Structure 1
Amino acid sequence: MGLDEDSLDYHASDPPGKIEISTTKPTNTQRDLSLAYSPGVAAPCRRIDENPEDAFKYTAKGNMVGVVSNGSAVLGLGDIGAQASKPVMEGKGVLFKRFADIDVFDVELDQESADDIIESVAAMEPTFGGINLEDIKAPECFEIETRLREEMDIPVFHDDQHGTAIISGAALLNAAEIADKDLEDVDVVFSGAGASAIASAKFYVSLGVRRENITMCDSSGIITEDRDVNEFKQQFASPAGEGGDLADAMEGADVFVGLSVGGIVDQEMVRSMADDPIVFAMANPDPEIGYEEAKNARDDTVIMATGRSDYPNQVNNVLGFPFIFRGALDVRATDINEEMKVACAEALADLAKQDVPDAVVKAYGDQPLQFGPEYIIPKPLDPRVLFEVAPAIAEAAAESGVARRDLDLEEYREELEARLGKSREMMRIVLNKAKSDPKRVALGEGDDEKMIRAAYQMSEEGIAEPVLIGDRDTIDGVVAALGLDFDPDIVDPDEGEHEEYAERLYELRQRKGITESEAKSLVKRDPNYLGSTMVEAGDADALLTGLTHHYPSALKPPLQVVGTAPDADYVAGVYMLTFKNRVIFCADTTVNQDPEADVLAEVAEHTAELARRFNVDPRVAMLSYSNFGSVDNEGTRKPREAARMLREDDVDFPVDGEMQADSAVVEDILEGTYEFSDLDQPANVLIFPNLEAGNIGYKLLQRLGGADAIGPMLVGMGEPVHVLQRGDEVKDIVNLAAVAVVDAQQNSD
């Protein structure tokens, strides 16, 4: 099937369209309904009548944007009318929700005159926290936005004008830096003089481009003061007598901005531009000149951007509007002004210079993404855009006087991260604890690129003081290749004999099968032994390893050298699984194959301690396929006995079992059938009866239950040691490093 047929099936599948309304409060009982509607709804109505600002407190207005169009200028389709534009507007709503968790009503107006549209939209102010104007033709769109901004006390933003301006502006900031061009001195040529071109030209002036250095061309050539054009084009008219065609305008130009039609620029025109030209060919679906065609036109560096996703540097408006509105809504801004737009462009430009998460790289085909000519703006699927851009918008709104609500920006960033998932909210707790007192973390396999990138992030964010164990030349080469501003602490096994570590390893293991020469060899050739001995000797506070090793082989050296904690005989692997509104710790998932009751009890205690590091009050369930004696055999007795042992030890957390998994986590089953249980709420620490069950269980919850998994976190070690899973991403390494730092902080107390 072709794309058209696939799209029609996609939109027509039941239920038709792409959006629906869902409730955010319980509606299961008669009381719920009486609160949601009559008679309970009268109370918030009266409050809002007394104080209109309370609409933001008692209704969804503060998170609601109206996407408004009359369908007169739909991208690639033209004037198709209001109703035919509805799939596009629904799609816009999907993007708002997907990228910034903003709710949307799409409003298609069957109106043509600017006055009618203005009157209709202004009348909807009580409904919305902001208005996104979309696909309205020029020049009416200019008047509509200007007047609505004057009349309405909520943000009004015409994305067709400003979206492209802001995103291409971010690209321009970075392209100029790479090409070593000063914005005050660059000559910019525009092909196209519609809404987005005029708005982009205005915005570039806000970024530092001089008005007199901008040449704008329409289908008739260079716009000059002696031509009869509308007032909006006239703003960028060149002096009379300086006319010509697009080719004339491009000669010697530093920057070409295409917002017109495909195929109107050839290689000769690109060759006529200044050294290291910047070419933004953004006509869709076909750019003014093809990507390869422009890059191959000359021997120096052509920094190229298009509107297409199949080439580097896509100028995509989704990098802007969701996050601009997120920040504007959260400070209850009255406007989206120039200062906020500039803040957005600068935040995007800065983000492009940061290390790119592995998940983003994978989403774009595992192609290298590193600041340079092929990567000057972030990718739309980069989750960091939300908590980089929205705070910048909020801050700019406050500083420019259009915010009606003050925000603590650090707290706000954490709130935004929580919108991306419970796992980010939980990790933020540990990351903040780690930053309060960073510790020295040794990283085995320190010459692996992921470890180096993780070390850079730890250092930049103040989470830890990383120590890379590996070949110095390799590490220095990777740091240079990645362009990291980073001078890492390196321990190279080939530099020196590291005699003190070999001696300590020999001392610890001489009666357990290791000779003196073997100890020297292990320290030199196995970073896990070197790192473990550093931790045992106090020269590092924690160790992370296992990225390129099988889990058992990576765990063996720390167990031999560091050993278990004084109050522990066993270690265990724990995964924290985060769902939308709950967190569950699963143990043991990586170490003990068939534990006895005393092992299960010890693992439960250590896992409960781990939960508290995430500010979670533990409630422990010892899992089985039996509920409280319904099956009696050797297997079910172990978790039953473990629960009894814990209660007799008078542990400071509720624990029960043996019990089935659904009895442990479903409130109705727990309270309705097993009201005698010592758990008065569903469990959040699940102790599995054996390794097979634990590994299967957490993976099913992760894959089918949609949980995010953090781990495995080792509990019971004498010093903080965590073993990564092979193939973990950089964020996983950083997260476990933060957990290790918090472990080390507690050990030093």
Structure 2
Amino acid sequence: ADIDVFDIELDQHDPKEIITSVKAMEPTFGGINLEDIKAPECFEIEKTLRKEMDIPVFHDDQHGTAIISGAALLNAAEIADKDLSEIEIVFSGAGASALATARFYVSLGADRDNITMCDSSGIITEERAESGDVNEFKQEFAQDRPAGDLADAMEGADVFVGLSVGGLVSEEMVQSMAADPIIFAMANPDPEIGYEAAKNARDDTVIMATGRSDYPNQVNNVLGFPFIFRGALDVRATEINEAMKVAAAEALAELAQQDVPDAVVKAYGDQPLQFGPNYIIPKPLDPRVLFEVAPAVAKAAMDSGCARKELDLQKYAERLEARLGKSREMMRVVLNKAKSDPKRLVLAEGDDEKMVRAAHQLVDQGIAEPVLIGDREEIWEHAERLGLDFDPEIVDPEEGNLAPYAERLYELRQRKGVTRREADELIEDGNYLGSVMVEMGDADAMLTGLMHHYPSALRPPLQVIGTDPEADYAAGVYMLTFKNRVVFVADATVNQSPDEDVLAEITKQTAKLARRFNVEPRAALLSYSDFGSVRNEGTSKPRNAAKMLHEDPEADFPVDGEMQADTAVVEEMLTGDYSFSELDEPANVLVFPNLEAGNIAYKLLQRLGGAEAIGPMLVGMDKPVHVLQRGDEVKDIVNLAGVAVVDAQSNGQ
């Protein structure tokens, strides 16, 4: 959550002394998270501090589990088709966490009369409360029912919530519950009943959550308090109230229903993560929690009147996303431009699962209008299995109706050795079909390459669409983002040994691309020589290209070369020994002398320099076409789709 925190231990055991010490720290801190204070003292401490302080005070042991398990309960009830207001809930444990969780479930919509709480002596009944057998806090959930133990309470229950000790629940007790039971066995390290035992106890669906990371549906407080505090601090909230906690739980529940990023799936051993009985809450390593939960909490604070600062929530979410890395900040610029005027985008390998997932996100976020080329049944099978609720446009080559496209392909390639019959065969290839659709104006842009080697994916669009009339060459560009810097690297994918004309053209096209990301280009043509220190055929190419650009009125940006890479990016070197350079600031467009150097450099910067790479982005084409790398993740497809849409907008399509 990117919050500065201080871990402070107090050598005190008297609640009044703890209250006094915490209150005295108020001028220093924006909020205070209380940890490891047992019941019932924790209730008095938190209640008093919340009343007497004007900053958020939050006891995580009470509310953290309540919020995270509450999110799980919302989704579990939906999956099990149970009405939250009608379900019977049994608690094992009546400490601080259990009491706070029960109260929170009521805030989410559960009926207090349907909550049965058990402590070590059995069911908390009104009879026990009247006899003074339970403290004032437990009395809140005393039920008018016969005395009994946990087994009696669980009979016919819809939900079991364990916040006690391990091994209390047997398979027979699970079998006694209502149909499709929900079991949150959250004692650590050993749950009240083991995951396998609970699952194997019945033939119907058992929705199971624990506090352990080695089983599905881990209830982990780290999903809550960092992001709740982020939202509370950013609106200068005076407290963390019930509305803010409910907003956090609802945001987590909604996030679990979204498509899970490939990076999160890989972090958890490539196990399937899809909304359902085994995935009802997001994983703790999911970076989206920050910009989903914090804005929801901030909005609830503003709506409930405890915020001292108003935020534009859309801009706030974007600022939060930027905290996760410069690449997200840069891509947000492009994706927002794309959303302003979405274009028709052909996904040439549309029956690949990643393409289907990407298409759903493009529609859901309003980035583009995807057209999937591929097997219709396979596309729908992917969408149904993944639970993607959308109706994409599909072009299935096996269904025919491709004659106009085949005829156009034949017209374009008949003097390149392609016969009419060969055109009929080629047009069934998604890369050729997509290219012709874009060339004819039936689509505005195209993505391909996910399942092909880069050269074979690039060949059809080059043959059909070709380069821009004002550009004789296409090039591949990567945007590399560091913590506080962005550089565009060209050419890393297309031109093997460019001469000065090609280098000059690549530089101009890359500068145009930089401006689409709202970056004013400063270009350096790189070599192993600095401004003529070595003179040979190799160093003369970037030197001559720089001269050509100095004389080109279209090159309306600072450019210089040849120069070494460190000269280009280190300000002290530019302003020291080379103060005569056209660059008065470090370059952000780096043009390499050949493909080999460019490709090696970007991969080293990515793997060893900590850069995040976006691309390759194809520049110089007559119409927007971008070629993915084999194995790209869904986020890469979505990002490159946004670039393609902005390209189409720039081309007036």
Please state if 1:199 is matched with 2:100.
Answer: yes
Q: Give me the whole-angstrom Cα distance separating, in 1, the residues matched to 2:140 and 2:533.
A: 83
What's the CA shift string for 1:395-418, capped at 9, x where partnerless?
000000000000000100110010
Q: Give me the whole-angstrom Cα distance separating, in 1, the residues matched to 2:22 and 2:573.
A: 50
Please state if 1:107 is matched with 2:11.
Answer: no
Please state if 1:488 is matched with 2:392.
Answer: yes
Q: How does 1:156-235 map to 2 (within 5 A)?
A: 156-227=57-128, 228-235=133-140
Tell me the matched-pair count: 648
Q: Give me the whole-angstrom Cα distance separating, in 1, the residues matched to 2:388 and 2:108.
A: 27
Name the structure 1 match of 2:280: 376
Q: Give me the whole-angstrom Cα distance separating, in 1, the residues matched to 2:432 and 2:321.
A: 37
Q: How does 1:354-365 map to 2 (within 5 A)?
A: 354-365=258-269
Name the structure 1 match of 2:24: 123
Name the structure 2 match of 1:549: 452
Q: Give me the whole-angstrom Cα distance separating, in 1, the residues matched to 2:651 and 2:119.
A: 69
What's the CA shift string for 1:325-356, capped at 9, x where partnerless?
00000000000000000000101111111111
Name the structure 1 match of 2:507: 604
Match of 1:135 among 23, 36, 59: 36
Query: Gapped runs of 5+ residues in structure 1?
Result: 1-99
Shift of 1:282: 0.3
Shift of 1:712: 0.2
Match of 1:275 among 179, 185, 196: 179
What's the CA shift string for 1:51-79, capped at 9, x where partnerless?
xxxxxxxxxxxxxxxxxxxxxxxxxxxxx
Shift of 1:379: 0.8
What's the CA shift string for 1:187-225, capped at 9, x where partnerless?
100001111100000000001111111111111111123
Shift of 1:137: 1.3
1:268 partner amino acid: E
Name the structure 1 match of 2:141: 236
Shift of 1:439: 0.2
Query: Gapped runs of 5+ residues in structure 2?
Result: none
**3-state SS of 2:7 partner:** strand
Q: How does 1:706-717 map to 2 (within 5 A)?
A: 706-717=610-621
Name the structure 1 match of 2:315: 411
Name the structure 2 match of 1:249: 153
Please state if 1:629 is matched with 2:532.
Answer: yes
Match of 1:591 among 472, 477, 494: 494
Please state if 1:445 is matched with 2:349.
Answer: yes
Q: Give me the whole-angstrom Cα distance separating, in 1, the residues matched to 2:52 and 2:564.
A: 61
The structure showing larger relative contact order (alpha-carbon pairs under 8 Å, at least 6 residues apart) is: 2
Match of 1:690 among 580, 591, 594: 594
What's the CA shift string for 1:272-324, capped at 9, x where partnerless?
00010000000001100011100110111000000011111110101100110
Q: Give me the whole-angstrom Cα distance separating, in 2, the residues matched to 1:495 and 1:537.
A: 20
**3-state SS of 2:487 partner:** strand
Q: Give me the whole-angstrom Cα distance separating, in 1, the residues matched to 2:521 and 2:368.
A: 27
Name the structure 1 match of 2:462: 559
2:142 partner amino acid: A
Q: Give me the whole-angstrom Cα distance separating, in 1, the residues matched to 2:283 and 2:170.
A: 28
Q: Give me the whole-angstrom Cα distance separating, in 2, the residues matched to 1:696 and 1:121.
A: 55
What's the CA shift string for 1:625-647, capped at 9, x where partnerless?
11111111111111111111000
Q: Give me the whole-angstrom Cα distance separating, in 1, the residues matched to 2:187 and 2:492.
A: 52
Q: Give me the whole-angstrom Cα distance separating, in 2, the residues matched to 1:121 and 1:672.
A: 53
**3-state SS of 2:518 partner:** coil
Shift of 1:703: 1.1
Match of 2:208 among 301, 304, 307: 304
1:220 partner amino acid: S
What's the CA shift string for 1:668-721, capped at 9, x where partnerless?
111122111110100000001100110011111111111111000000001000
What's the CA shift string for 1:571-610, capped at 9, x where partnerless?
0000001111111000000001110011000000000000
Q: Give me the whole-angstrom Cα distance separating, in 2, the residues matched to 1:157 and 1:390.
A: 15
Name the structure 2 match of 1:326: 230
Q: Give me the whole-angstrom Cα distance separating, in 2, the residues matched to 1:646 and 1:242.
A: 90
Q: Give me the whole-angstrom Cα distance separating, in 2, the residues matched to 1:259 and 1:666.
A: 57
Name the structure 1 match of 2:635: 731
Shift of 1:465: 0.2
Shift of 1:229: 1.4
Name the structure 1 match of 2:402: 498
Match of 1:531 among 426, 434, 437: 434
Shift of 1:537: 0.4
Q: Give me the whole-angstrom Cα distance separating, in 1, the residues matched to 2:570 and 2:197.
A: 60
Match of 2:551 among 645, 648, 671: 648
Please state if 1:335 is matched with 2:239.
Answer: yes
Name the structure 2 match of 1:45: none
**3-state SS of 2:610 partner:** coil
Q: Give me the whole-angstrom Cα distance separating, in 2, the residues matched to 1:466 and 1:376.
A: 29
Q: Give me the whole-angstrom Cα distance separating, in 1, the residues matched to 2:127 and 2:579.
A: 87
1:448 partner amino acid: D
Match of 1:702 among 606, 610, 623: 606
Q: Give me the whole-angstrom Cα distance separating, in 1, the residues matched to 2:514 and 2:441.
A: 26
2:335 partner amino acid: L
**3-state SS of 2:496 partner:** coil
Name the structure 2 match of 1:436: 340
Q: Give me the whole-angstrom Cα distance separating, in 1, the residues matched to 2:176 and 2:577.
A: 81
Q: Give me the whole-angstrom Cα distance separating, in 1, the residues matched to 2:578 and 2:13.
A: 65
Name the structure 1 match of 2:328: 424
Q: Give me the whole-angstrom Cα distance separating, in 2, the residues matched to 1:592 and 1:571.
A: 8
TM-score w.r.t. length of structure 1: 0.86
Shift of 1:512: 0.4
1:391 partner amino acid: P
Name the structure 2 match of 1:575: 478
**3-state SS of 1:243 partner:** coil
Name the structure 2 match of 1:65: none
Shift of 1:231: 1.1
What's the CA shift string for 1:389-445, capped at 9, x where partnerless?
100000000000000000000100110010011101100000000000000000011
User: What's the % identity of the aligned pairs?
Assistant: 79
